[in-house]
C-alpha cells in the first residue's frame, strides 16, 4: 500500500517580514543619495520616493517590533495629528508662523499636501525609537516624560535640517522668514518652536499608543525592527547635513544639523559603552 504523500511545509513568513523594514531603510538611503544629484521633476520624484519609503519603514518597523496594533495605530494617529497641526498652522500661523505650500506637492486635504503627513510618519517613529534607547536606564516609572522630551527634541532637530532644503526646493515658503537661526535665513525661529510644541503633543500620543497596543512579549527596546528606523534617522540627519554642506549650498543648516546631533551622539556612545561593559 502506498503511503500518503505529506504536504510540503510552507516556509515561516515571519523571518521574511522582519526583513521588510531593513530593505525599505536601505532603499531610503540609496534614494536620498540621489537627491542632491537630481533637479526639477526628477528631484520631485526622489522627494516623494524618500517620504513614501520612509513612511513604510516606520509602519513596518512598528509592526515588526511592537505588533500589528501598534503599527496600525501609528499609521492612523500620526497622519491625523499632522494634518490637524498643519491645517491649524496654515489658517492661523500658530504654532509655526505664516507659511504656504506650493502646488508642486500635489493633492491636499484641509489644504495640507498628502506628502506632509507622510513625512511626519517617516520622522515620528524613528524619533520615538531613539528616545526609547536613550532613556532605557531611567527608572521605569520616571521614564515616560524624559522619553517624550527626548523624542520631541529629535523630531524638531530633524526639521532644522529638512526645512531649509524643502524651502530651497520650492515646496513651501515663509511669509516672515526672519529672525531665524544664525546661518538659516529662509526659516523663522517660530518654526522651531512650533515643531517642539507639536513634537511634544505627538510624542506623548505615540508613547501612550505604544503602551496600550504593544504586544505583551515586546521588550522595552525590541531588537527586531528598531535598527532600520534608526538607520533612516541617522542618514537623513547626518547624511542630510553632509549633502547640505557639499552639494546643496546650505552650510548653515548643515552646521546646525551637526551641532544638534552632538547630544544624541554622546548619549548613544554612552549607551554603547555601557553595553560593552555589561558583556
Give domain status of residue 10, yes or no.
no
Instruction: Give the C-alpha distances (Å, rounded to integers) separating 103 from 5, 114, 177.
Output: 62, 12, 20
Give domain status of residue 2, yes or no.
no
Helix (H) or strand (E) holding 108: strand 108-109
Quick one: which of 173, 61, 192 has its CA closest to 128? 61
pLDDT value, residue 1: 45
Give domain status of residue 3, yes or no.
no
Give domain status of residue 4, yes or no.
no
Give domain status of residue 5, yes or no.
no
What's the pLDDT tens digit per position in 41-92?
Answer: 899 999 999 999 999 999 999 999 999 999 999 999 999 999 999 999 999 9
CA 106-152-35 angle, 5° bins? 40
Number of domain units in the chain: 1
**Full residue range of the structural domain in which residue 92 is found:** 17-278
What are the cell numbers at 56?
513604510
Residue 211, C-beta contacts closer than 8 angstroms, at least 6 positions apart: 144
Give rounded-to-5 percent helix, strand, coil for the chain.
Answer: 70, 5, 25
pLDDT value, residue 17: 74
What's the pLDDT tens digit per position in 214-249?
Answer: 986 554 445 557 889 999 998 998 888 999 999 999
Q: Of 9-23, 156-170, 237-251, where does mean pLDDT reach its minimum?
A: 9-23
Average pLDDT score over residue span 203-210: 97
Cα atoms in the Cβ-side hemisphere of radius 13 Å centred on 142: 4
Give domain status of residue 211, yes or no.
yes
Give domain status of residue 8, yes or no.
no
Give domain status of residue 110, yes or no.
yes
On whether the CB atoms of residues 203 and 151 are closer than 8 A, the answer is yes
Is the full-model pTM beyond 0.95? no
Model confidence at 119: pLDDT above 70: yes
Amino acid at each position: 500500500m502506498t503511503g500518503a504523500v505529506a504536504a510540503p511545509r510552507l516556509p515561516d513568513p515571519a523571518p521574511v517580514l522582519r526583513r521588510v523594514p531593513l530593505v525599505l531603510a536601505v532603499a531610503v538611503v540609496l534614494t536620498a543619495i540621489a537627491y542632491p544629484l537630481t533637479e526639477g521633476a526628477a528631484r520631485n520624484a526622489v522627494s516623494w520616493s524618500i517620504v513614501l519609503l520612509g513612511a513604510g519603514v516606520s509602519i513596518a518597523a512598528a509592526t515588526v517590533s511592537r505588533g500589528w496594533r501598534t503599527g496600525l495605530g501609528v499609521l492612523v494617529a500620526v497622519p491625523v495629528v499632522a494634518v490637524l497641526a498643519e491645517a491649524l498652522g496654515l489658517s492661523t500661523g500658530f504654532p509655526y508662523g505664516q507659511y504656504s505650500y506650493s502646488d508642486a506637492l500635489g493633492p491636499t486635504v484641509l489644504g495640507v499636501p498628502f506628502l506632509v503627513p507622510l513625512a511626519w510618519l517617516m520622522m515620528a517613529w524613528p524619533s520615538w525609537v531613539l528616545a526609547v534607547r536613550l532613556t532605557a536606564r531611567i527608572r521605569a516609572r520616571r521614564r515616560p516624560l524624559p522619553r517624550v522630551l527626548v523624542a520631541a527634541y529629535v523630531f524638531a532637530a530633524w526639521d532644522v535640517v529638512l526645512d531649509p532644503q524643502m524651502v530651497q526646493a520650492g515646496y513651501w515658503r515663509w511669509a516672515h522668514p526672519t529672525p531665524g537661526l544664525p546661518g538659516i535665513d529662509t526659516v523663522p525661529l517660530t518654526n522651531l518652536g512650533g515643531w517642539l510644541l507639536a513634537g511634544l503633543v505627538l510624542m506623548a500620543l505615540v508613547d501612550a499608543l505604544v503602551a496600550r497596543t504593544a504586544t505583551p512579549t515586546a521588550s522595552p527596546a525590541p531588537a527586531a525592527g528598531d535598527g532600520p528606523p534608526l538607520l533612516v534617522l541617522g542618514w537623513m540627519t547626518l547624511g542630510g547635513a553632509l549633502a547640505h554642506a557639499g552639494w546643496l549650498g546650505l552650510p548653515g543648516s548643515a552646521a546646525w544639523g551637526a551641532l544638534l546631533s552632538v547630544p544624541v551622539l554622546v548619549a548613544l556612545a554612552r549607551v554603547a559603552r555601557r553595553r560593552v561593559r555589561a558583556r
